[in-house]
Structure 1
Amino acid sequence: MKTTRTALLRRARAAAFAFLAAACYLPASGYAADNLESFYGGRNVNLTIGYSVGGGYDTYARLLGKYIGNYLPGKPTITPQSMPGAGSLKAVNYLYSVAPKDGTTFGTFGRTMPEEPLLGDANFDARKLTWLGSITSDVSLCITWNTSQIKTFQDLVNKESRMGGQGAGSDPDVMASTIKTLFNSKLKIVTGYPGSNETALAMERGEIDGECGVSWSTIQVRHPDWIRDRKINILVQVALEKHPDLPNVPLLIDLAPNDETRQVLKVIVASQAFARPFAAPPGLPPERAAALRSAFAQTMKDPAFLAEAKRLGLEVRPVPPERIDQLLDELYKTPPALLAKAKAAVGGRF
């Protein structure tokens, strides 16, 4: 009897250990999914937008916000929050240092921000952000209003002009400073506008001649009449490659006076590949970072999202987070001498 009782106890212990092992290892992914659903279910997830309402970044962000919650476990409510300031540097600093690192906050900011620690005065490491991806790659332009005397890129170089800016490190300030420094342009930057909407109004009112660093996609979405009625002069494209819609507008790199300038420009305009970037704070729990990335990727394929983007005239050419990580790794390995020249080119903080 004793032997039988001992054997039964041993079998019971073995069965208990087997059950615990199965619970720990076999359905681990199921438990993770349950935990994510209980975490996100009924929550508000904040979508921080580094620009004022109505501009290109804001339009892309609010469109994403309508759909991405459907692909997060528990389908949380996505709450857009505008946080303009210093060309969206305020939003990046918030995401990097202040926002909760628990998967309840992500955001968008200017495409030049990932390079701002290298080319400007920002104090963060863009490689440490939890990158979700970019909705598209893009081409920035220098434009002027039709009544301005600045009609061509050579006019921008040779004649005095006033170009709008949004703060150190923002697209307009970086691109205008680059042209001013590398091409000895006579342009003057009038900075401090909260976003592209305000810059556009200033240009239409004649307060400034135009703006560098405005996206072709923003013009298509927010100001189709500018194109239809020829209200603007498109001076130059600031990107690594021309946009197919603008074959006759020169590429800034092609206008470089020498190879060194061309190499410096490549470092600066690499940011165009980030275009409409989205990132969460550093140090997220891995399963929540994976959930946000998966939700972003699935949204990029959502038929309703794509249909609404098309209706709004928004380009969707997704850039995955792996590509952003790769580009940042390459940029952070740029030789110091070349980086110093690029930094000097964008360092005219007016």
Structure 2
Amino acid sequence: MKGQTRRSRNRWRWIIPAALAVSTGWLGTAHAESVQDFYSGRTVNMDIGYSVGGGYDMYARLLAKHLGDHLPGNPTITPQNMPGAGSLKAANYLYSVAPKDGATIGTFGRTMPEEPLLGEADYDARKLVWLGSMDSDVSLCVTWHTSPIKTFQDMLTKPSRFGGQGAGSDPDVMANTIRNLFHAKLQLVTGYPGSNESALAMQRGEIDGECGTSWSTLRMRHPDWLRDHKVNLIVQMALEKHPDLPDVPLLSDLASDAETKKVLMVIAASQALARPFAAPPGIPADRADALRKAFADTMKDPAFLADAKSLGVEVRYVSPQQISTVLKDVYATSPDQIAKAKAAVGGRM
């Protein structure tokens, strides 16, 4: 018995140090994986909530070309389009499904952060790891030059058809808002995968135009439309007018009462997040910091800015802190105001 006890003690004398060595080694390896170790030789997926060729897609592909140069380890950034439900599919994927390791980032419509409040989305946009926005923009209602809808008054008094991309998307939100708060005689024809498809429908005369069109997209994708007066710029939605558009009316200025103006302010808050980029909630803090820094550094990179200029892309950096402030204010809006704004954007009044 004594011999057996001695052998047992000797066995544990060998097993315990070995187990500790393995455990210490594993912990050391986990701790030793720096941000550079993680990103070195890695591919970072960039999910884009719209189809190829539209404004969000062009901004995302421009960013993908340069972002890896500013991340430790210089990973490859791979854009992949994930259109669906006006980019809600991409927002849901990023929030609930994407790996939370820092190797997936994404972009989606500027209205998506408000969709949990104003629509049917089931996520908390404040919990996303915000990298920033590449621009602070305004949304416009535009019509093709052959359409009888040439002014905002025409929208109110003449029947019209405007293209949409799905509940919660920029075009649907703006068209529904005008229809419900201003009693415009417009019909929303929704379901287009992106701005390229709705632009083609507008040119074919299938629809009169589209609301929710970004000024930056018009300048970038269709400068000839502006030069040749192919589109009518009807109204802009934002917290304030774009400096380039002093003569295009601001929707909130057309409201006849203070209550409607307040509702419009809630809906328009997301315009400050014109080209937002985020990572899933819960990624390691050091990787989140690295992604934010890389994004900010890219926005002032001379090579990036030169590419942006050659593409006609407007860059007006919005920081993660500014995004968080906007979301904090929106999420603190009174339930009564949220209910009215939700009714306006959702087509229920």
TM-score, length of structure 2 as denominator length: 0.90
Q: Provide the C-alpha distance between the structure 1 equivalents of 2:147 and 2:59, rounded to a whole number of angstroms.
A: 30
Measured after TM superposition, the shift of residue 34 of structure 1 is 6.1
CA contact (8 A) 1:57 1:109 kept: yes
Q: Provide the C-alpha distance between the structure 1 equivalents of 2:269 and 2:144, rounded to a whole number of angstroms.
A: 27
Q: Deviations over 1:101-122 (max 9, x none)?
A: 0000001000000000000010
Q: Deviations over 1:46-96 (max 9, x none)?
A: 000000000000000000000000111110110000000000000000000
Counterpart of 1:83? 82
1:161-310 residue pairs with structure 2 within 5 A?
161-310=160-309
Q: Provide the C-alpha distance between the structure 2 equivalents of 1:34 and 1:66, rounded to a whole number of angstroms.
A: 25
Q: Provide the C-alpha distance between the structure 2 equivalents of 1:109 and 1:208, rounded to a whole number of angstroms.
A: 24
CA contact (8 A) 1:238 1:253 kept: yes
CA contact (8 A) 1:156 1:185 kept: yes
Measured after TM superposition, the shift of residue 234 of structure 1 is 0.6
Q: Provide the C-alpha distance between the structure 2 equivalents of 1:322 and 1:283, rounded to a whole number of angstroms.
A: 17
1:7-46 residue pairs with structure 2 within 5 A?
35-46=34-45
Q: Provide the C-alpha distance between the structure 2 equivalents of 1:122 and 1:37, rounded to a whole number of angstroms.
A: 35
- The amino acid across from 2:188 in the alignment is I
Structure 1 stretches lacking a partner, 5+ long = 1-30
RMSD: 1.3
Q: Deviations over 1:112-154 (max 9, x none)?
A: 0000000001000000000000001001100000000101001
SS in 1 for 2:235: strand
Q: Deviations over 1:175-197 (max 9, x none)?
A: 00000000001100000000000
- The amino acid across from 2:281 in the alignment is P
Q: Provide the C-alpha distance between the structure 2 equivalents of 1:79 and 1:254, rounded to a whole number of angstroms.
A: 42
Equivalent residues, number: 320
Q: Provide the C-alpha distance between the structure 2 equivalents of 1:275 and 1:33, rounded to a whole number of angstroms.
A: 38
SS in 1 for 2:68: helix
1:136 aligns with 2:135: yes
- The amino acid across from 2:204 in the alignment is R
Counterpart of 1:333? 332
Q: Provide the C-alpha distance between the structure 1 equivalents of 2:314 and 2:207, rounded to a whole number of angstroms.
A: 28
Counterpart of 1:346? 345
- The amino acid across from 1:180 in the alignment is R
Q: Provide the C-alpha distance between the structure 1 equivalents of 2:319 and 2:33, rounded to a whole number of angstroms.
A: 26
Q: Provide the C-alpha distance between the structure 2 equivalents of 1:43 and 1:290, rounded to a whole number of angstroms.
A: 18
- The amino acid across from 1:185 in the alignment is A
Counterpart of 2:66? 67
Q: Provide the C-alpha distance between the structure 2 equivalents of 1:347 and 1:77, rounded to a whole number of angstroms.
A: 39
Counterpart of 2:11? none
Counterpart of 2:111? 112
Structure 2 stretches lacking a partner, 5+ long = 1-29
Counterpart of 2:55? 56
Q: Provide the C-alpha distance between the structure 2 equivalents of 1:55 and 1:236, rounded to a whole number of angstroms.
A: 21
Q: Provide the C-alpha distance between the structure 2 equivalents of 1:72 and 1:217, rounded to a whole number of angstroms.
A: 27
Q: Provide the C-alpha distance between the structure 1 equivalents of 2:179 and 2:69, rounded to a whole number of angstroms.
A: 45
Counterpart of 1:322? 321
- The amino acid across from 1:47 in the alignment is M
CA contact (8 A) 1:145 1:209 kept: yes
Q: Provide the C-alpha distance between the structure 2 equivalents of 1:102 and 1:72, rounded to a whole number of angstroms.
A: 15
CA contact (8 A) 1:113 1:170 kept: yes
- The amino acid across from 1:137 in the alignment is S
SS in 1 for 2:233: strand
1:98 aligns with 2:97: yes
- The amino acid across from 1:235 in the alignment is I
SS in 1 for 2:44: strand
- The amino acid across from 2:212 in the alignment is G
Q: Provide the C-alpha distance between the structure 1 equivalents of 2:33 and 2:133, rounded to a whole number of angstroms.
A: 28
Q: Provide the C-alpha distance between the structure 2 equivalents of 1:257 and 1:212, rounded to a whole number of angstroms.
A: 21
Q: Provide the C-alpha distance between the structure 1 equivalents of 2:319 and 2:109, rounded to a whole number of angstroms.
A: 17
Counterpart of 2:122? 123
- The amino acid across from 1:193 in the alignment is Y
SS in 2 for 1:97: helix
CA contact (8 A) 1:32 1:287 kept: no
Q: Provide the C-alpha distance between the structure 2 equivalents of 1:244 and 1:137, rounded to a whole number of angstroms.
A: 11
Q: Provide the C-alpha distance between the structure 2 equivalents of 1:242 and 1:313, rounded to a whole number of angstroms.
A: 20
CA contact (8 A) 1:33 1:73 kept: no
Q: Deviations over 1:291-323 (max 9, x none)?
A: 100110110110000111111111111000011
SS in 2 for 1:148: coil
Q: Provide the C-alpha distance between the structure 1 equivalents of 2:236 and 2:73, rounded to a whole number of angstroms.
A: 43
Counterpart of 1:156? 155
CA contact (8 A) 1:150 1:161 kept: yes
Identity of matched residues, %: 72
Measured after TM superposition, the shift of residue 255 of structure 1 is 0.1
